[in-house]
């Protein structure tokens, strides 16, 4: 794999030290690179809740480190588990990672979970790249890069792998209101990777598609139900409807730690509602952080196990077990 100058290493995104879980504070990127030291599971939960660390796999990894920290400092592990599990409701990776850690809440197991998530991203990138047409103009939403997965990235990992195969002409980056994960984080990562890109306001995606400027839409996910219904950042469903209208494939890239076989359909996926002040300091607002895209609007779901197509209830693999 090519080393990319300036790429943020997995241990810079989130790591466990002897007395703290250290996260790169993504709220300050790209203007400032500052670390946040979380000295308890409660402080890790706060970092997840405030999106200092965010992205489904990355919050799972941070929670795994938080449980290992609690165990190493003699704190009540069950209480730490509950505190971390309650930090954000939608990304199933959070509960998956905590469940993987619970029988053996050690630093070594948490680090294994982190390393495995990054390796899954590399495998997903390799599976997804051939789905990207030659000279593709790719549209992506929110941030599903290394910052969101603890390294390499899921949707951005797929874009990176396709770029390295010469398949990408440019990337349209939805700014992704209200917290601008696209404009702040995805654009930053693509700049670091040297991949041509342009930030657009979320409302511009429709016109780009109508002008024939988009060949494929690639996103990450926060929870995928057994039938393939997919929860992702708010606005993804609208993109899916637009893509279907314009005959453009939507490809979801997510590790098996994002699969939730206990949710039969998207109706069972809890959707986080965040502080309306993130949308408007002055006026009333409604601020759901995610929406659900029905499986029939998704062309393919790519996990580290491969490319899965309809019917997803039969093609999706079981969630992975930590090694």
Ligand X SMILES: CSC[C@H]1O[C@H](OP(=O)(O)O)[C@H](O)[C@@H]1O
Task: Say whether 135 counts as a known binding-site residue.
Answer: no
Q: At which residue do the structure tokens 């390799």 appear?
A: 126
How far from the centroid of its chain's Cα atoms is residue 193's Cα?
A: 18
How far from the centroid of its chain's Cα atoms is residue 118's Cα?
A: 12
Q: How far is the CB of 225 from ligand X (least distance, A)?
A: 15
Query: What is the contact surface with ligand X in residues (CB under 6 A)?
Result: 54-57, 142, 144, 148-149, 154, 181, 219-220, 222, 232-233, 289
- Residue closer to ligand X by CB (options 71, 322) is 322
Q: At which residue do the structure tokens 């030290």 appear?
A: 17
Task: Say whether 181 counts as a known binding-site residue.
Answer: yes
- Residue closer to ligand X by CB (options 40, 232) is 232
**3-state secondary structure (DSSP) of residue 219:** strand
- Residue closer to ligand X by CB (options 105, 220) is 220
Task: Say whether 54 counts as a known binding-site residue.
Answer: yes
> Cα–Cα distance between 72 and 236 in angstroms, integer?
40
- Residue closer to ligand X by CB (options 100, 222) is 222
Q: Give start and end residues of each alpha helix (H) in 141-296.
A: 146-149, 155-164, 181, 187-193, 205-210, 236-245
Task: Say whether 12 counts as a known binding-site residue.
Answer: no
- Asked whether the beta carbons of 316 and 226 are under 8 A apart, the reply is yes
**3-state secondary structure (DSSP) of residue 99:** helix
Beta-carbon count within 10 A of 273 CB? 12
Active site residues: 222
- Ramachandran category for residue 51: left, alpha or beta (phi over 0 → left; psi -120 to 50 → alpha): left
Task: Say whether 233 counts as a known binding-site residue.
Answer: yes
Q: How far is the CB of 61 from ligand X (least distance, A)?
A: 11
Q: How far is the CB of 44 from ligand X (least distance, A)?
A: 15
- Asked whether the beta carbons of 217 and 159 are under 8 A apart, the reply is no
- Residue closer to ligand X by CB (options 71, 308) is 308
- Residue closer to ligand X by CB (options 83, 232) is 232
Q: Give start and end residues of each alpha helix (H) in the chain.
A: 10-13, 41-49, 56-72, 77-85, 92-101, 107-128, 146-149, 155-164, 181, 187-193, 205-210, 236-245, 312-315
**3-state secondary structure (DSSP) of residue 276:** helix
- Asked whether the beta carbons of 237 and 252 are under 8 A apart, the reply is no
- Asked whether the beta carbons of 281 and 194 are under 8 A apart, the reply is no
Task: Say whether 227 counts as a known binding-site residue.
Answer: no
> Cα–Cα distance between 9 and 19 in angstroms, integer?
21
Q: How far is the CB of 32 from ligand X (least distance, A)?
A: 18
Task: Show binding-site residues for substrate.
Answer: 54-56, 88, 181, 232-233
């Amino acid at each position: 794999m090519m080393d990319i100058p300036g790429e943020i290493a997995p241990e810079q995104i989130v790591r466990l030290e002897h007395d703290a879980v250290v996260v790169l504070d993504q709220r300050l990127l790209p203007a400032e690179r500052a670390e946040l030291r979380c000295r308890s599971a409660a402080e890790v939960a706060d970092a997840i809740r405030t999106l200092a660390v965010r992205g489904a796999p990355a919050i799972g990894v941070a929670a795994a480190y938080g449980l290992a920290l609690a165990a190493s400092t003699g704190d009540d592990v069950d209480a730490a588990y509950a505190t971390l599990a309650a930090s954000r409701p939608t990304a199933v990776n959070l509960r998956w990672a905590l469940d993987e850690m619970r029988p053996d809440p050690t630093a070594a197991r948490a680090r294994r979970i982190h390393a495995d998530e990054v390796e899954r991203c590399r495998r997903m990138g390799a599976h997804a790249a051939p789905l990207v047409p030659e000279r593709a103009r790719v549209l992506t939403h929110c941030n599903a890069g290394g910052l969101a997965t603890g390294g390499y990235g899921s949707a951005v990992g797929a874009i990176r792998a396709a770029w390295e195969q010469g398949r990408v002409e440019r990337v349209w980056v939805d700014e992704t209101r209200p917290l601008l994960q696209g404009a702040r984080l995805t654009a930053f990562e693509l700049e670091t990777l040297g991949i041509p890109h342009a930030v657009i306001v979320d409302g511009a995606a429709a016109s780009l598609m109508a002008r024939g400027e988009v060949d494929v839409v690639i996103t990450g996910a926060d929870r995928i139900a057994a039938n393939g219904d997919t929860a992702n950042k708010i606005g993804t469903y609208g993109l899916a409807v637009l893509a279907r209208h314009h005959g453009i494939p939507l490809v979801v890239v997510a590790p098996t730690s994002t699969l939730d076989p206990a949710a039969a359909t998207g109706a069972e996926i809890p959707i986080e509602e965040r502080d309306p002040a993130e949308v408007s300091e002055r006026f009333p607002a409604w601020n759901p952080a995610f929406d659900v895209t029905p499986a029939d609007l998704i062309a393919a779901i790519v996990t580290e196990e491969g490319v899965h197509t309809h019917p997803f209830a039969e093609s999706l693999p079981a969630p992975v077990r930590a090694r």
